[in-house]
């Protein structure tokens, strides 16, 4: 067994308590062996002095290759943004573009302490390949859109999503898991949903989709069907405890109860919801009802970065505004949502620093003006820390970044390729 010791730091425990301790990791199994003092010496050591060892952040909803479209189209609401700018540009994306965009996003994640994520996109084999090399953990899937396609095209899209979910589950030494990913209840037709959900269920494949993101998406369903979108989703068999939806902004009490009783996760994407003016998710109400809530960035074109520390702060701020209550969505709450909450939604044994859990960890450097004084480190994680404070990143027991040097990728080559591919893409899309 080869071991990794993360030594001499403070450690954030699952109950949100901070203690001085070392963390011993089984690097072969990729799990945490022990948290405490006087642990055995290890094959490799990471210095955490002056730092905080915390669970790696889990970005529970992303379109990682959209980093190539960062800053490409801003200041529009969802429908216009997708139809006028994003989808035409995505129509020009090649598999190489997706690979290059994914690498850029993965680099950004490693450098900001994110160790796992969920991703909906196309050219999924490229994303799997990039994740395998970068060393992160992910639940990936092919996003299905049928509305703009003929029957043959629609079926091909559905089939690709199901076959990708079957083929890549367990890839990258088990760090890759998959899901079937219909884009949303309004962009995938009912007959396709009915057939494909049954197929996914037969094979035990989890499902992830965008739900109740904007009123433009909710109203047509209510008008046409006389029921709420998540009631429709439930009838289709889309809400089980292995499924998770993105957004859940415009949900009523019936839908909140449905999510709680089915055990379906909701991924809150506060920055995307604010930027596209989609609305404010009732996060505190979801939590009070017992819904599993995680946090995600959404794609870099609607955020515009993949730094989960921003997302913690946004979630806390927006959650208070939505509840009209400054005590809602507290610092402890958002830290838990972005770690264990997201991991639970994705079905990963990550998001906590305790023996037996996946060794998916970040070490934050506390020696910075904006993290001084250290009255309350959980408060700092929620309100003051940023991705650039991360000193080391570890996933599955492997060191991905040591002293801010990313070990699994050539940082300057990734940036150079991304600039070049993004420029070519913009030219083709113009
Ligand atoms: N196979 C599909 C692609 C779906 S991937 C997932 C899609 O979600 C889009 N997307 C990104 N952010 C959001 C969001 O906030 N809401 C809805 N869709 C989004 C993204 O641009 C991408 O087209 C096709 O043929 O078009
Ligand atoms: Zn999205």
| pLDDT in the model for residue 360 | 99
86 lines ligand 1 (CB under 6 A): yes
- Percent helix, strand, coil in the chain, to 5, is 45, 25, 35
Using DSSP's 3-state secondary structure scheme, residue 280 falls into coil
Reported confidence tier of residue 263, pLDDT bands at 50, 70, 90: very high
Q: Which ligand is nearest to the CA of 304?
A: 1
Same domain, 300 and 395: no
Examine residue 46 and state whether it is found in any structural domain, yes or no: yes
310 lines ligand 1 (CB under 6 A): no
Domain count, the chain: 2
Q: Angle 82-87-89 (CA atoms, 0-180°, nearest 5)?
A: 120
Cα 163 to middle of ligand 2, angstroms:
21
H-state helical runs in 91-214: 95-111, 124-134, 151-168, 190-202
Tell me if ipTM is over 0.85.
yes
The Cα–Cα gap between 319 and 156 comes to 40
- 138-197 pLDDT tens trace: 999 999 999 989 999 999 999 999 999 999 999 999 999 999 999 999 999 999 999 999
**Residues linked to residue 143 through DSSP beta bridges, in sequence order:** 181
Same domain, 249 and 118: yes
The Cα–Cα gap between 259 and 248 comes to 10
Residue in 73, 74, 90, 248 to alter for ligand 1 test, most ligand atoms within 8 A of Cβ: 90
The Cα–Cα gap between 294 and 81 comes to 25
Same domain, 172 and 211: yes
Examine residue 411 and state whether it is found in any structural domain, yes or no: no
Contact yes or no for 53/10 (Cβ under 8 A): yes
Same domain, 260 and 285: yes
| pLDDT in the model for residue 420 | 98
As annotated, the binding site includes 61, 63, 90, 183, 210, 213, 298
Cα 179 to middle of ligand 1, angstroms:
15
Same domain, 49 and 127: no
Examine residue 428 and state whether it is found in any structural domain, yes or no: no
In degrees to the nearest 10, what's the CA dihedral of 413, 106, 108, 349?
-150
Examine residue 412 and state whether it is found in any structural domain, yes or no: no
Same domain, 177 and 266: yes
The Cα–Cα gap between 243 and 209 comes to 9
Neighbours of 384 (CB within 10 A): 17
Examine residue 352 and state whether it is found in any structural domain, yes or no: no
CATH number for the domain including 382?
Answer: 2.30.40.10
pTM of the predicted protein model: 0.98
As annotated, the binding site for substrate includes 90, 183, 213, 298
As annotated, the binding site for Zn(2+) includes 61, 63, 210, 298
- 95-133 pLDDT tens trace: 999 999 999 999 999 999 999 999 999 999 999 999 999
- Cα–chain-centroid distance for residue 345? 10
Mean pLDDT of all residues in the chain?
Answer: 98
90 lines ligand 1 (CB under 6 A): yes
Cα 359 to middle of ligand 1, angstroms:
31
Q: Which ligand is nearest to the CA of 183?
A: 1
Is 90 exceeded by the pLDDT of residue 365? yes
Examine residue 187 and state whether it is found in any structural domain, yes or no: yes
272 lines ligand 1 (CB under 6 A): yes
Q: Which residues contact 308 (CB under 8 A, 6 or more apart)?
A: 57, 58, 59, 112, 113, 114, 295, 297, 338, 387
Is 90 exceeded by the pLDDT of residue 40? no
Residue in 63, 85, 269, 311 to alter for ligand 1 test, most ligand atoms within 8 A of Cβ: 63
For residue 377, the enclosing domain spans 3-56+357-406
| pLDDT in the model for residue 285 | 98
Same domain, 228 and 363: no
Q: Is 263 left (phi over 0), alpha (psi -120 to 50) or beta?
A: left
Examine residue 415 and state whether it is found in any structural domain, yes or no: no
Residue 390: HSE in the Cβ half-sphere, 13 Å Cα cutoff: 30
The Cα–Cα gap between 225 and 227 comes to 5
Same domain, 281 and 303: yes
Same domain, 387 and 251: no
Q: Which ligand is nearest to the CA of 121?
A: 1
Cα 387 to middle of ligand 1, angstroms:
26
Q: Which ligand is nearest to the CA of 141?
A: 1
Contact yes or no for 28/1 (Cβ under 8 A): yes
182 lines ligand 1 (CB under 6 A): no
Helix 151-168 vs helix 124-134: crossing angle, to nearest 10: 20
CATH number for the domain including 70?
Answer: 3.20.20.140
**Residues linked to residue 114 through DSSP beta bridges, in sequence order:** 57
Same domain, 256 and 161: yes
Contact yes or no for 249/298 (Cβ under 8 A): no
The Cα–Cα gap between 419 and 397 comes to 31
Same domain, 12 and 138: no
Q: Is 309 left (phi over 0), alpha (psi -120 to 50) or beta?
A: alpha
H-state helical runs in 54-117: 78-80, 87-90, 95-111
Using DSSP's 3-state secondary structure scheme, residue 311 falls into helix
Same domain, 88 and 46: no
210 lines ligand 1 (CB under 6 A): yes
Q: Which class for 323: exposed (0-12), middle (13-18), buried (19 or more C-beta within 10 A)?
A: middle
Neighbours of 86 (CB within 10 A): 22
């Amino acid at each position: 067994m080869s071991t990794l010791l993360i030594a001499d730091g403070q450690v954030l425990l699952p109950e949100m308590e901070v203690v001085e301790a070392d963390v011993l990791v089984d690097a072969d199994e990729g799990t945490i062996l022990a948290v405490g003092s006087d642990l055995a010496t290890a094959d490799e050591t990471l210095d955490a002095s002056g730092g905080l060892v915390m669970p790696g952040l889990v970005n529970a909803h992303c379109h990682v290759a959209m980093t190539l479209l960062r800053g490409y189209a801003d200041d529009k609401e969802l429908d216009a943004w997708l139809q006028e700018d994003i989808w035409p540009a995505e129509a020009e994306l090649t598999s190489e573009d997706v690979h290059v965009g994914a690498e850029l996003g993965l680099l950004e994640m490693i450098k900001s302490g994110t160790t796992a994520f969920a991703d909906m996109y196309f050219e999924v084999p490229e994303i799997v390949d990039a994740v395998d090399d970068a060393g992160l953990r992910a639940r990936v899937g092919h996003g299905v859109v049928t509305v703009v396609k003929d029957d043959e095209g629609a079926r091909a899209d559905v089939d690709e999503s199901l076959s990708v979910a079957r083929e890549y589950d367990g890839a990258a030494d088990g760090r890759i898991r998959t899901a079937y990913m219909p884009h949303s209840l309004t962009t995938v037709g009912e007959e396709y949903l009915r057939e494909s959900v049954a197929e996914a269920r037969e094979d035990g494949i989890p499902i992830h989709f965008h739900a109740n993101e904007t009123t433009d998406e909710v109203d047509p369903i209510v008008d046409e069907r006389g029921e709420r979108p998540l009631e429709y989703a439930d009838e289709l068999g889309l809400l089980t405890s292995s499924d998770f939806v993105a957004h859940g902004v415009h949900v009523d009490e019936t839908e909140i109860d449905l999510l709680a009783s089915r055990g379906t996760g909701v991924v809150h994407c506060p920055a995307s919801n604010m930027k596209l003016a989609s609305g404010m998710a009732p996060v505190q109400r979801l939590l009070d009802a017992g819904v599993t809530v995680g946090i995600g960035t959404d794609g870099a074109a609607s955020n515009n970065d993949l730094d989960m520390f921003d997302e913690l702060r946004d979630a806390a701020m927006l959650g208070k505004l939505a509840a009209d209550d400054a005590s809602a969505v507290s610092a402890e709450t958002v830290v838990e949502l972005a770690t264990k909450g997201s991991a639970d939604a994705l079905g990963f044994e990550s998001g906590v620093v305790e023996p037996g859990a996946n060794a998916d960890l970040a070490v934050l450097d506390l020696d910075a003006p904006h993290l001084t004084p250290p009255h309350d480190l959980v408060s700092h994680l929620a309100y003051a820390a940023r991705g650039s404070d991360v000193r080391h990143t570890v996933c599955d027991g492997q060191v991905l970044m040591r002293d801010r040097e990313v070990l699994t990728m050539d940082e300057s080559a990734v940036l150079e390729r991304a600039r070049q591919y993004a420029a070519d893409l913009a030219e083709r899309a113009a």
